[in-house]
Amino acid sequence: MKPPPFDYFAPQTLEEVLQLLEQYGDDAKVLAGGQSLIPTMNFRLAQPAVLIDLNGIRELADIQESDEEITVGAMTRQRMLEKSVIIREKTPLIFETIPHIAHVQIRNRGTVGGNLAHADPASELPAVMVTLNATFKLQSLKSERWVSASDFFQGMYMTALQPEEILTEVRIPVQAVTGLYGFEEVARRHGDYALAGVSVLVHLDENQNCEDVRITYFSVGEAPVPAHNAVQFLTGQPLEDEIISEAAELAANNDIDPHDDIHASAKYRRHLAKILTIRALQKAKNRNKPN
Amino acid sequence: MAISISVTVNGKTYNHEVEPRMLLVHYLRDVLRLTGTHVGCDTSGCGACTVVVNGRAVKSCTMLAAQADGAEITTIEGLASNGDLHPLQEGFREEHGLQCGFCTPGMIMTAWQILQDNPNPSEEEIRHGLEGNLCRCTGYQNIVKAIQYAAKKIG
């Protein structure tokens, strides 16, 4: 047997899940798609005493839309996002991102909630959720609260979730018609964790100057990293080649603090961040069709 | 702690008591003795353990046997019918799509999914579809050809 022993629960309602979490707290792990947790247990890096399987909770697996936002249940498979017309039309940034998340067998099992709650700093979806200004619903038996994506991710595999809480729902504001976007990453093989990556979302004002800019990196820090300096620099400026290059330079030098590891040096990651920012902002720019 | 499961594999229904920590791949191999599905990396990286669960290709090393309760599973052993190879199996033979063969069952089950989603995939679509499967003997050229062979034959 690869994983260490654990007690297994497969509740059929969210209420039962919350009761089990209340009872077992820190001793329990919630099993969503299992695409990170089970390998970690196979290596015995994680040894939870109790596993609470969410795969029977049907109410957590759907995608809904209203005029302003899209609601995605935590147990929605990544493959469902990939195939969703709502996602393709209303949040094209997510649609463009999904093919970069691992590969199809993993996306068949992997879930949105599991992907976010695992909070791997090299993961795409957390950074994209920060860029899109998404909010997450965290529920326990006794409370229910909403936390913004930027407050949710607190460090490497660390989130705002308390031991008795579970992420149940993600709300994503619909990208307005003027929301120009871009997603870029570099990985050694397609589907591997990226060495560096970035997602951008830009709104222009009536003079074609940047009004609301969001740039978020992944795999260059402990959590998704917002590019505060670059955003400040871009605001009020037109999306022109020279300005894009300068913003990318600023972000790579001042907004991120990447690590050296066996996959890439910090210096190389900075270089990638700069080039990828230029490409992503160029993509956003090329999507602009002024009247 | 033992869990009762009822699983349909290659059209036959099995009932067993399993330990919660038993991985689906070990259930298939060690309990059902269907050893065509291989264990490669145990981390969902290599794709050798790919099987089809309820119509979707998944890596059976990252799913618990307990989670397969009620599921319909197809493994490499379930593809041939009445002694006739599935066109994908035939394609791998005709196009020399394997050397050592370790990755082959996973390649074929993933290819099954590729053709299920798109009966007439381009070379690029086949290569993208195979991203989750590693072959360490050689390149992927003949594997791609084998899938093209099958697509043509089925089409």
Q: What ipTM did this prediction achieve? A: 0.94
Instruction: Confirm if A215 and A248 have CB atoms less than 8 A apart.
Output: no
User: Which stretches of chain B sit within 8 Å of chain A by CB?
Assistant: 1, 3, 19-23, 26, 42-44, 47, 50, 56-59, 61-64, 66-67, 69, 110, 113, 128-129, 131-132
* A8 vs B: CB within 8 A: yes
Q: Do A1 and B26 touch (CB under 8 A)?
A: yes
* A39, A41, A55: residue with CB nearest B44: A39
Integer angstrom CA distances of residue A46 from A152, A154, B23, B40, B151: 22, 20, 15, 20, 42
Q: Do B23 and A3 touch (CB under 8 A)?
A: yes
Q: Do A53 and B129 touch (CB under 8 A)?
A: no
Q: Do B23 and A79 touch (CB under 8 A)?
A: no
pLDDT at A174: 87
Considering only alpha carbons, which residue of chain B is nearest residue A48? Answer: B21
* A275 vs B: CB within 8 A: no
Which residues of chain A register pLDDT less than 70? 176-178, 290-291
Question: Taking the CB of residue B129, how many other CB atoms lie within 10 A of it?
Answer: 23
* A35 vs B: CB within 8 A: yes
pLDDT at A177: 54
- Cβ density class A180-202: b for 16+ within 10 Å, e for less: bbbbbbbbeeebbbbbbbbbbbb
DSSP count for chain A of H helices, then E strands:
12, 14
pLDDT at A290: 65
Q: Mutate which of A35, A51, A58, A105 to test chain B, going by most B C-beta atoms within 10 A?
A: A105
DSSP 8-state class, residue B29:
I
Positive or negative torsion for Cα A45, A49, A55, A61: negative
pLDDT at A178: 62
For residue A6, list chain B residues with Cβ-Cβ distance below 8 A: 20-21
pLDDT at A250: 98
**What is the signed CA dihedral for A238, A243, A245, A249, rounded to 10 degrees?**
-120
DSSP count for chain B of H helices, then E strands:
5, 5
pLDDT at A28: 97
The residues, any chain, with a CB within 8 Å of residue A179's CB and separated by 6 or more, are A93, A201, A202, A203
Question: Taking the CB of residue A3, how many other CB atoms lie within 10 A of it?
Answer: 24
Closest CA to B50 of A40, A1, A104, A189: A104
The residues, any chain, with a CB within 8 Å of residue B94's CB and separated by 6 or more, are B146, B149
* pLDDT (tens digit per residue) in A185-242: 999 988 888 999 999 999 999 999 999 999 999 999 999 999 999 999 999 999 999 9
Interface size between A and B, measured as CB pairs under 8 A: 95
Q: Do B1 and A1 touch (CB under 8 A)?
A: no
Q: How far apart are CA A253 and CA A10, in angstroms?
A: 48
pLDDT at B4: 97
pLDDT at A245: 98
* A9 vs B: CB within 8 A: no
For tokens 């090329």, the residue is A286
Query: Which tokens go with A203?
Result: 């709104």
For each of the domains in chain B, give its residue range(s) and CATH number, in order of start: 3-78 (3.10.20.30), 87-154 (1.10.150.120)
Q: How far apart are CA B130 and CA A89, in angstroms?
A: 27
* pLDDT (tens digit per residue) in B95-148: 999 999 999 999 999 999 999 999 999 999 999 999 999 999 978 999 999 999
* pLDDT (tens digit per residue) in B50-105: 999 999 999 999 999 999 999 999 999 999 999 999 999 999 999 999 999 999 99
Closest CA to A279 of A167, A142, A161, A184: A184
Tell me whether residue A243 is exposed, middle or buried, using C-beta atoms within 10 angstroms of its C-beta: 0 to 12, 13 to 18, 19 or more: middle
